[in-house]
Amino acid sequence: MNSGITPMPERQSFEELKLVGQLGAEYWSARDLQPQLGYSQWRRFDEAIQRAITSCQQSGNDPANHFAGAGKMVDLGSGSQREIPDFHLSRFACYLIAQNGDPRKPEIANAQKYFAVQTRRQELSDAYAADLERLELREQTKHEFKALSSAAQDAGVHGRMFGVFHDAGYKGLYGGLGADDIKRSKSIAEKENLMDRMDTTELAANQFRMTQTRDKLKREGIRGERRAIDVHHQVGKEVRTAIERIGGTPPEKLPPAEHIREVRKRIEGVQPKLALDEKDAKGLLGGSGDDAG
């Protein structure tokens, strides 16, 4: 009786296992790939394939182009053959199976690296990428604000003067407007964190302002509240001048962005779509739009 356990043959490279169909499309046999990914039981490997098919749908791609049910003839001990279920898999399908496989298996880890490099275009949708960029930049500015506050404290800024120090940077960058003035001009609620309503461009300008001020305070050994405040204001003005010189929009003229918490919710709740180039999107269909049969 067949136990469903496949003997573990000598490892071959993934490229050595690659096949080419009648339409000229490259593909892999799931049965050939199974031992390469460390699975001795077809049932377990089939579960990984089903998860990959679901992932393919969620990524905005058609599973029919990447997973084709097929049969594979195997030799029996009696010298006869019988057909067992198999799949023909595109390169993208192999990538998804590796991503949905058992991460404890070293074979899966190697396959993840291989197919992540070999899959030609796995691009996040523009909207998702923009959200992710803004969220990451907001986290960076959060850390930079803390680092700047620490540098200001080392320079001798204390107590209520921290507010004056940070406002000086805004006034330099925003043409004389402090944080409260910026909120009023952009109709941002008083209790909201100003940087939570900045878009990527505005966040980047403020991150640069904070980074350069922190470095200057430390590099020049600035000491004293007044000197530290003046340095922050001057750096803010320099960043503003650079923006004007290259024809950029003054930060006070940039409209407020949606609150960063909404961006975070969207990223956490939506499966990113993977945009494939035309060849990869067709997968098993190769250069033809007809069914692979």
Helix (H), strand (E) at residue 29: strand 26-29
pLDDT at 122: 44
Q: Where are the alpha helices (DSSP H) in 123-160?
A: 126-155
Q: Is residue 167 within 8 Å of 97, Cβ to Cβ? A: no
Question: If you ran DSSP here, which 8-state letter would residue 24 be given?
Answer: S
Q: For residues 287 and 266, what is the distance between their CA atoms, to the nearest angstrom?
A: 36
Q: Which of 267, 121, 252 is nearest to 198 (CA)?
A: 252
d(CA 227, CA 107): 59
pLDDT value of position 119:
45
pLDDT of residue 277: 64
pTM of the model: 0.55
| Cβ atoms < 10 Å from Cβ of 95 | 26
Sequence-distant (6+) residues with CB within 8 A of 122 are 95, 116, 274, 276
Burial of 260 (0-12, 13-18, 19+ CB in 10 A): buried
* pLDDT value of position 293: 35
CA-based max dimension of the chain? 92
Query: Cα–Cα distance between 124 and 130 in angstroms, integer?
Result: 9
- Cβ contact 155:168 at 8 Å: no
Q: 292 and 19 in contact (C-beta within 8 Å)?
A: no
The answer to whether 157 and 223 have CB atoms below 8 angstroms apart is no
Per domain, the residue ranges of the chain are 14-124+275-285, 126-269
pLDDT by position in tens, the chain (length 293)? 444 444 444 456 788 888 887 777 889 999 999 998 989 899 999 999 999 999 888 878 899 999 998 877 666 666 667 788 899 999 889 988 988 887 778 888 788 777 764 443 444 456 777 888 899 999 999 999 999 999 999 999 999 999 999 999 999 999 999 999 999 999 999 999 999 999 999 999 999 999 999 999 999 999 999 999 999 999 999 999 999 999 999 999 999 999 999 999 988 876 556 666 676 667 777 755 444 33
CA dist 61 and 17 (Å) reads 24
The pLDDT value recorded for residue 105 is 81
Q: Residues with Cβ < 8 Å from 83, sequence gap 6 or more? A: 71, 72, 73, 74
Q: What residues have CB less than 8 Å from 110, skipping those under 6 apart?
A: none
Distance CA 112, CA 118 (A): 10
* 42 in Cβ contact with 36 (< 8 Å): no
Nearest to 85 by CA among 171, 197, 2: 2
> What Rg value do the Cα atoms of the chain yield, rounded?
28
